[in-house]
Amino acid sequence: MSQSAPLILVTGGSRGIGAATALAAAREGYDVALTYASNKDAAEKVATGIRKLGRRAFAIKADTAMEDDIDRLFQETDSIGSLAAVVYNSAITGKNSALADAETSTLRDVVNVNLLGAMIVARETAKRLSKKRGGRGGSIVFISSRASDYGSPGEFVWYAASKGGIDSLTVGLARELAPDGVRVNAVSPGPIETEMHRPGRLEEAIKRFPFGRAGAPEEVADAVMFLISEKSSFTSGAILNVSGAA
């Protein structure tokens, strides 16, 4: 097993899109650090899959809503090796409702995980990747959502708003970090078969979408890996829809 493989960090890497991305990165020759919030067993299962592919894997418990956890996360990744890429996949929706019925704690929790956490992780990543700061360059990919365009009325407009913030962050940070050798892009999935959906929601949603089916986490992961790869070497500030034309 090579110790000199590039290192990628995937937040929220224990399930769904994050797990698929972590495994896809291993197949492409990356060592993988992945975070989980609470489900250690799920994270270790992904890590085991990565090791079976001949790559190193590190499952790190970290709540990306907490700055102290993020600081500790980067201390751990620094001890593993130099990051080449970071995928910010951590996200929550909170309980479905109209905004008028939502608790302030729900709004705060969603923004803290989905947007503030993404900004802090991106800040720490930029410090490490920026060529102007002694880094070797690299790539940041945010997982956004087509909810940023749909708005998700009656469900979780706050989630959609947080993902709209991710889209703006992608564009602005791409321009900010371009002179530093760091590319910044986002993948914006439509309906994907993950555990995030409440029972019946996905079945209802796909009736309205042109492909007539939900996407697989692996289809999102493939888009992420394209944006990290040299095949997209002139691509930064892009928001790539993976949504079956929705």
Sign (positive/negative) of CA torsion 223, 224, 229, 232?
A: positive
Angle between helices 117-129 and 157-177 (to 10 degrees): 20
Tokens of 123: 């800040």
Q: What are phi and psi of 60, to 5 degrees?
A: -120, 125
Q: Which distant-in-sequence residues (6+ apart) come within 8 Å of 216 by Cβ?
A: 20, 192, 193
Give the residue numbers marked as catalytic: 159
Contact 210, 246 (CB under 8 A): yes
The count of other CB atoms within 10 Å of the CB of residue 230 is 7
Q: How far apart are CA 216 and CA 24, in angstroms?
A: 13
Sign (positive/negative) of CA torsion 151, 189, 211, 95?
A: negative
Nearest Cα neighbor of 81 from 2, 182, 7 is: 7
Q: How far apart are CA 14 and CA 10, in angstroms?
A: 9
